[in-house]
Chains A and B, each alone.
Chain A
C-alpha cells in the first residue's frame, strides 16, 4: 500500500475546491484519461459535499480528511469526517437510480439526490463504516480497468 497524499479541511463548502484541485493533481500522476480524472475528482467532491451537508450539517468546527492510497492497481480514497453517523447509507445506496428518468416526463428529471448515485456509478466499490465516532467512506477504483479502457 502506497500512501499518495492526505488532506484535511474544515467542513465548509468553500473549502471543497482545495480537495477538488488536490484530487485532480493526484489523479493526473496516475496516468488516467482526462475523463477518468474528472470522474475521480467528481466522486470525491460529491462525497465531501455530502459530508459537509448531511454529516457535519454545515458546521465548520467539524473536519473532513481525505486519504489517497494505491495498492495492486487499486486506487483507494478514504473520506473521514467528524460529523454525525450516516444511518441510511445502505438504504440511500439502493434507492432508484435518479438517472433512470423519462425524457417524455420533465417532472421526472432529478434536481437533487444525485451525488451518491454518481459516486456509485463512477467507482467500483463504495463502502461506509462508523469507526471510533468518525464516518469513513471508502471509494475504490481499479486502475487496471481504466488503463484497459483507454
Chain B
C-alpha cells in the first residue's frame, strides 16, 4: 500500500447516521413481520408456466367432455324446394330461402324468398 492509498484508508469520512440505522432497522423489522404474517411467496417463472399448462390442459379436457352443442351456421342456409305446381301444368317453383339467425330476439328473422318460375317440357318433376 503506497502513501496515497494509506492516506485514503486513514481519511475520516462521513458515516452512516443513527437515523439511517433506524430506517434500515424499521425496514428489516417490517420485512420480518411480513414474513411472519405469511406474506405471499414470489412465484417463479416455471411455476407460472406449469399453471398455464394446467389451465390449457384442463380447458381442453372440459371442452372434450362437454356435449356438442348446436351452433347456428355462420352463413345463411339456402334451401331449395322443387314443388309441383297446383295446376299440374308442369310449372315448378324454386324457392330459395335464406334464413338469417339472430341471437337477439327483438330482431325479426329475415326471409328472403325468391320464386322463379321455370317451364318444363314434361311433368317429370
Are A and B part of the same complex? no
